[in-house]
């Protein structure tokens, strides 16, 4: 049976695994050239659904805190992510996003007083290298606005993770996730109306199915698991688990898109998995009693046996 710690790591890792399906869902089901519409319909309905389930609004300072976290983790991050995706090759954007564990680890040392160890730093650099092998192509081009958007998106999400950890959760993960998705979705709605506008052509059944999956499974369900992990794990751990997203996106492309796995991509997957394993918090060692746990237990058993024998002898003597 899985321990609570392993179960928490596994359930948190489900979130980036589901995010790895976003690219394939977007390609197969969603209309082209509508990134802000996709971001808005991904966040806002998910927030409304979760709020209907929890039926609880923020109180006091959590009105503005929820908005800040919603903008950092959802609104600004989604918008910047799609800008980077449209102006950069997916590989370049993914490599910049792969820097997030290192950024989170550095911010956590300043804001949360978490110690930045050489193990975490080395794992972060190794993870970026692994992601680059998975997604980076030789013909990749750079666009200044796209690079700036990718960097800003990474900083936005990293700041959201650290602040979520610092401020804690005044309510269950489902409730706090609803607040962030709503505030982030409303922010995206304003950006959508100003920049992209509402769609003029009606959505097809395939479009609706795609938006429904991204909003319900890839956002509402995934972010509840994600923020639960952020609240209970060291700040850098969920960020490292986020490296699973490009790995899952690649594997889905192999299974469904008929893509071929190159040797360097195989090496990249292995390197990413090793970097995640190296960055995971170590389980606390049991306290040693009398030199070792096993030896201490044996000594306690022997002492108990001796006391019982002594009592029997004393009874016979009497």
In this structure, how many other beta carbons lie within 10 angstroms of the beta carbon of residue 122? 13
Tokens of 118: 């050489």
Asked if 273 and 298 sit in the same domain, the reply is: no
Q: pLDDT per residue over 206-248, tens digit each? A: 999 999 999 999 999 999 999 999 888 888 888 888 888 878 8
How many structural domains does the chain have? 2
Q: Are 134 and 246 in contact (CB under 8 A)?
A: yes
**Residue 183 pLDDT more than 80?**
yes
Asked if 186 and 113 sit in the same domain, the reply is: yes
Tokens of 287: 């306290």
Percent of the chain with pLDDT over 70: 79
Asked if 59 and 107 sit in the same domain, the reply is: yes
- Mean pLDDT in residue range 169-183: 93
**Residue 300 pLDDT more than 60?**
no
CA distance 103 to 109: 10
Average confidence score pLDDT of the chain:
81
CA distance 154 to 303: 59
Burial of 220 (0-12, 13-18, 19+ CB in 10 A): buried
Structure confidence at residue 315 as a pLDDT band (50, 70, 90)? low
pLDDT for the residue 215: 94
Asked if 195 and 302 sit in the same domain, the reply is: no
In this structure, how many other beta carbons lie within 10 angstroms of the beta carbon of residue 286? 9
Asked if 192 and 294 sit in the same domain, the reply is: no
Q: Which of 217, 218, 237 is nearest to 5 (CA)?
A: 237
* Distance of alpha carbon 104 from the chain centroid: 12
Asked if 169 and 313 sit in the same domain, the reply is: no
Asked if 313 and 249 sit in the same domain, the reply is: no
Structure confidence at residue 259 as a pLDDT band (50, 70, 90)? low
Burial of 251 (0-12, 13-18, 19+ CB in 10 A): middle
| Structural domain boundaries enclosing 279 | 4-284
Asked if 28 and 71 sit in the same domain, the reply is: yes
CA distance 166 to 214: 28
**Residue 272 pLDDT more than 50?**
yes
Least confident of 65-79, 111-125, 208-222: 111-125
pLDDT for the residue 210: 92
- Mean pLDDT in residue range 16-23: 83
Asked if 240 and 118 sit in the same domain, the reply is: yes
Percent of the chain with pLDDT over 90: 30
Q: Are 159 and 107 in contact (CB under 8 A)?
A: yes
The CA–CA distances, whole Å, from 40 to 23, 71, 89, 183 equal 16, 12, 22, 11
Q: Which of 129, 91, 133, 159 is nearest to 261 (CA)?
A: 133
Asked if 151 and 293 sit in the same domain, the reply is: no
In this structure, how many other beta carbons lie within 10 angstroms of the beta carbon of residue 314? 9
Structure confidence at residue 1 as a pLDDT band (50, 70, 90)? very low
pLDDT for the residue 68: 96
- Is 0.95 surpassed by the pTM of this model? no
Asked if 141 and 14 sit in the same domain, the reply is: yes
List b or e across 206-215, with b for residues whose CB sees 16 or more CB atoms inside 10 angstroms: ebeebbebbb
Structure confidence at residue 275 as a pLDDT band (50, 70, 90)? confident
Asked if 150 and 297 sit in the same domain, the reply is: no
């Amino acid at each position: 049976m899985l321990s609570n710690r392993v179960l928490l790591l596994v359930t948190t890792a489900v979130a980036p695994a589901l995010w790895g399906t976003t690219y394939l869902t977007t390609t197969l089901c969603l209309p082209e050239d509508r990134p802000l519409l996709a971001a808005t319909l991904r966040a806002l309905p998910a927030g409304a659904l979760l709020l209907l389930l929890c039926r609880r609004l923020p109180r006091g300072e959590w009105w503005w805190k929820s908005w800040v976290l919603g903008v950092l983790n959802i609104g600004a991050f989604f918008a910047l992510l799609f800008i980077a995706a449209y102006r950069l090759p997916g590989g370049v954007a993914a490599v910049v996003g792969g820097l997030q564990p290192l950024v989170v680890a550095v911010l956590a040392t300043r804001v949360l007083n978490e110690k930045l160890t050489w193990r975490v730093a080395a794992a972060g650099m190794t993870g970026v290298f692994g992601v680059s092998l998975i997604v980076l192509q030789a013909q990749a081009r750079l666009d200044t606005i796209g690079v700036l958007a990718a960097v800003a998106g990474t900083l936005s999400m990293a700041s959201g993770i650290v602040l979520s950890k610092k401020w804690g959760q005044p309510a269950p993960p489902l409730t706090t996730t609803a607040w962030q998705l709503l505030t982030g979705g409303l922010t995206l709605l304003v950006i959508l109306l100003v920049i992209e506008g509402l769609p003029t052509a009606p959505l097809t059944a395939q479009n609706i199915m795609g938006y429904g999956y991204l909003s319900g499974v890839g956002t509402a369900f995934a972010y509840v698991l994600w923020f639960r992990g952020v609240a209970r794990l060291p700040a850098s751990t969920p960020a490292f688990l986020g490296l699973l997203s490009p790995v899952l996106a690649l594997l889905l492309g192999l299974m469904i898109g008929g893509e071929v796995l190159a040797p360097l991509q195989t090496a990249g997957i292995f390197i990413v998995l090793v970097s995640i394993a190296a960055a995971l918090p170590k389980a606390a060692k049991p306290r040693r009693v009398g030199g070792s746990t096993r030896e201490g237990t044996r000594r306690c058993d022997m002492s108990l046996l001796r006391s019982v024998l002594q009592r029997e002898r004393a009874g016979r003597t009497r």
